[in-house]
């Protein structure tokens, strides 16, 4: 497994085109793997996430079974002249050794972009419709409902730091949320996805289950930049 990080050049027109549509960015990410053919349906999972840390700091993260080649992204949305000096323009790290060292009881800071949805039936007898959670409280509850099966426990805040009237007993917050709209397969009706980015701190409760989340993703809309969780050492 590999974890790749690529910083997009916010001043490039190609960057603006890529970040304007998750479908376009998905196609660009998948084009980074020469062994993956577009006509093949049984493909290994590729996860990606776009972090908007600031107006001029756009970081693309990719988790994949194979090592990617992001040369085309450097040409479209990176710094080609800097890459020509010897640096490829992105960083790829072996992910397997990190995953193997995950231990039950260890604590980590995490970031996750996900598509928190639930099923709603408007009228009796009609099929349920998948609907996005729109409030931070419901979005956090969606994540808390998945922590046991996901092999992690989001740590609780000290009592003196809680504001129970807001339901913020856990060390997690909604850092960002965006509605991504695009047209799929030439269709007339736009597809809208609610992408929610969480920051928080977790404890590993089942290392194998958490490894599956880190490599297979969490929730829906994985092809469109949702589902990727990354970990960083907790201070």
Comparing CA positions, the residue from 87, 90, 206, 196 lying closest to residue 153 is 206
As its CATH architecture, domain 103-233 has 2-Layer Sandwich (3.30)
Q: Give yes or no for a contact between 111 and 224, defined as CB atoms under 8 angstroms apart.
A: no
Annotation: CATH topology of 2-99: Alpha-Beta Plaits (3.30.70)
Residues 6+ apart with CB under 8 A from 41: none
194's tokens: 């609610």
pLDDT values of the chain reduced to their tens digit, one per residue, 235 residues: 999 999 999 999 999 999 988 999 999 999 999 887 665 666 788 999 999 987 778 999 999 999 999 999 999 999 998 776 767 789 999 999 999 999 999 999 999 999 998 777 666 666 767 788 888 999 999 999 999 999 999 999 887 666 655 457 889 999 999 988 777 766 677 878 899 999 999 999 999 999 999 999 999 999 999 999 999 999 7
Q: What is the pLDDT of residue 72?
A: 95
> So what's the pLDDT on residue 124?
67
How many CB atoms within 10 Å of residue 116?
25
- Could you tell me which residues come within 8 angstroms of residue 9 by beta carbon, excluding any fewer than 6 positions away? 15, 77, 78, 79
Task: Find out whether 47 and 66 touch, Cβ atoms under 8 Å.
Answer: no
**Locus of tokens 């808390």:** 144
Assigned token pair, 233: 């050492």
How far is residue 131's CA from residue 114's CA, in Å, rounded to a whole number? 14
Among 25, 83, 97, which Cα is nearest to 59's?
Answer: 25
Alpha-helical regions (H) of the chain? 13-19, 22-30, 71-77, 80-84, 96-100, 136-144, 147-150, 207-216
pTM over 0.85: yes
Domains 2-99 and 103-233 share a fold: yes
Domain-wise residue ranges, the chain: 2-99, 103-233
Res 131: pLDDT: 81
């Amino acid at each position: 497994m590999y974890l790749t990080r690529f910083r997009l050049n916010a001043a490039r027109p190609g960057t603006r085109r890529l970040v304007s549509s998750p479908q376009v960015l998905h196609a660009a990410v998948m084009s980074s793997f020469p062994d993956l053919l577009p006509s093949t349906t049984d493909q290994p999972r590729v996860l990606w996430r776009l972090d908007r840390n600031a107006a001029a700091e756009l970081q693309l993260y990719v988790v994949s079974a194979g090592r990617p080649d992001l040369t085309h992204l450097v040409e479209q949305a990176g710094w080609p002249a800097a890459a020509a000096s010897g640096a490829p323009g992105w960083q790829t790290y072996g992910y397997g050794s990190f995953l193997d060292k995950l231990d039950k009881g260890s604590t980590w800071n995490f970031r996750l972009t996900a598509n928190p949805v639930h099923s709603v039936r408007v009228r009796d007898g009609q099929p349920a419709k998948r609907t996005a959670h729109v409030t931070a409280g419901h979005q956090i509850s969606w994540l808390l409902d998945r922590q046991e099966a996901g092999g992690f426990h989001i740590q609780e805040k000290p009592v003196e730091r809680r504001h129970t009237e807001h339901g913020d007993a856990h060390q997690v917050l909604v850092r960002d949320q965006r509605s991504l709209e695009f047209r799929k397969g030439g269709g007339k009706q736009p597809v809208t996805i609610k992408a929610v980015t969480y920051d928080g701190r977790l404890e590993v409760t089942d290392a194998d289950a958490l490894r599956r989340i880190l490599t297979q993703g969490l929730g829906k809309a994985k092809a469109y930049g949702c589902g990727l969780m990354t970990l960083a050492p907790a201070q």
